[in-house]
Amino acid sequence: GSLLCVGWLSRPSLLCVGWLSRGSLLCVGWLSRGSLLCVGWLSRGSLLCVGWLSRGLLLWVN
């Protein structure tokens, strides 16, 4: 799909990339250390969010 938006935040060093393909949205965020922070998908109204914390693992599916 086509690239929708790429944004950086100077302090938290957050990178967000979003794509729009047939109404689907992909968002990926990174921290300064290069670890994966959050991944979310929107497909057919379903939302999947996976987040990692430094002291544990957080998984949320709706």
Domain span holding position 57: 2-61
Q: Tokens representing 37? A: 């922070």
Q: In whole angstroms, give the CA distance from residue 62 to residue 46.
A: 7
Structural domains counted in the chain: 1
Whether the model clears a pTM of 0.75, i.e. scores above it, the answer is no
Q: What is the pLDDT of residues 3-62, one digit of tens each?
A: 444 455 445 555 555 554 555 555 555 544 545 455 555 555 554 545 544 444 444 443
Edge to edge, what strands does the sheet with 24-30 contain?
A: 2-9, 14-21, 24-30, 36-43, 46-53, 56-61
Q: In whole angstroms, give the CA distance from residue 21 to residue 51.
A: 23
